[in-house]
Homo-oligomer: A and B are copies of this chain.
């Protein structure tokens, strides 16, 4: 590409970037460099890139542009995406961004901004194809064409409304297109429509899509008035986002709400330090619990050797159970009232897993004694103590890990807050008590 006539470009030594190149370096650039890089893209690629990035990045790009160019970029977006962009910008910039929109879009976007970002209203697009039941297919097709010429809109279904904007039925474009021209819309429309209430949580919306296998669902208010449509491509982002949040919570981190490489270091530490401190304070109870058993430990140091082994086995089995239950809840496979089924299953699983570990632990101690005479004459009692404790601790870990998400959900918290490290900490403290109680019972008069 040769440089055209006129004033030289601001960074004359740089070649135009390609789409692949900017995707590659984007996460590693500073905000200032990002704008520079973006401005080096040919217009076509720049638009593709602009559409492909998250709302936060779109806001950054628009706000970093020279003032006279901002408008053309914001106006590229459909109202739902424009609303997301504005919501991703700092509060004090939002009015300026809204002012860049044309009047009808500004009204639509303002209405969308009233919804919380993570419910159906925040996901929906207020532009859709409207039809009337008494139209013929022929009239309907011309009307669709007219609506699309006025404003681009999603085309998969036509929504049949009465004069008060209440949803009567849905016609797929495929049906409209293959029916004979004189048929009335009312004859071919589906009346049993899956709808989404406007304030439904986005996670529930994504489950609705999973059940219906449709590409777009209508959003209605309590009186059945049509408010907009949610399309499945927005749901992909929701599913991904919710899974990320759940996974981070299960890993014991607050949801980052920004890509890993882009989040500011101080914010990253803040997101992690909270849970880490809570867990640390919880884990301090292990020091207190062990303080109670200090005399037993002094008398039989061999008991201390198995502490990490035993408590971590409880923690690991608890992590497994809590992860499985949280994910099953998020997928709608397990509901609150299924708790008793889960208890029964986890009871069996806990016993089964505990017995396997107990057997391995028993063998290990007996073998080591045979080979190295590590544990002295009471080795069988020690092996029995470790094995019995393992069954108890693993069973307890499994039950605690599986029930905690139910308890949290029952009291209105997010079940994913039952992070694996949290369950592990809970089980560590109680695991110590189980271990030393078993030891006191089995080893009394022998080592203790």
Contact = CB atoms under 8 A, between A and B. Distances in A.
A221 to B, nearest CB: 22
A20 to B, nearest CB: 11
Contacts of A277: 356-357, 360
Interface in A279-311: 279-281, 283-284, 286-287, 290-291, 294, 297-298, 301-302, 304-309, 311
Contact of A246 (B206, B247, B265): B247
A200 interface: no
Nearest to A317: B276
Interface in A223-260: 231-233, 235-237, 239-240, 243-244, 246-248, 250-253, 256, 259-260
Contacts of A432: 308
Interface string A44-69: 10000001100000000000000000
A276 B239 contact: no
Nearest to A310: B283
A211 interface: yes
A283 to B, nearest CB: 5
- Which secondary structure characterizes the binding site on chain A? helix
B211 A23 contact: yes
A331 interface: yes
A289 B247 CA distance: 32
B420 A211 contact: no
Given A272-B320, A328-B259, A213 B239 contact: no
Contacts of A326: 247
B307 A260 contact: no
Which 8 A-B pairs rank lowest in CB-CB distance, beginning with the nearest? Answer: A251-B323, A243-B243, A260-B328, A286-B308, A259-B333, A316-B421, A290-B305, A52-B211
Interface of A: 23, 27-28, 44, 51-52, 144-145, 148-149, 152, 155-156, 173-174, 177-178, 192, 206, 209-215, 231-233, 235-237, 239-240, 243-244, 246-248, 250-253, 256, 259-262, 265, 268-269, 272-273, 275-277, 279-281, 283-284, 286-287, 290-291, 294, 297-298, 301-302, 304-309, 311-313, 315-317, 319-320, 322-328, 331, 333-334, 338, 341-342, 345, 348-349, 352-353, 356-357, 360-361, 364, 374, 420-421, 424-425, 428, 432
10 contacts: A148-B178, A152-B174, A215-B231, A215-B232, A236-B239, A265-B345, A268-B345, A272-B320, A294-B302, A308-B311
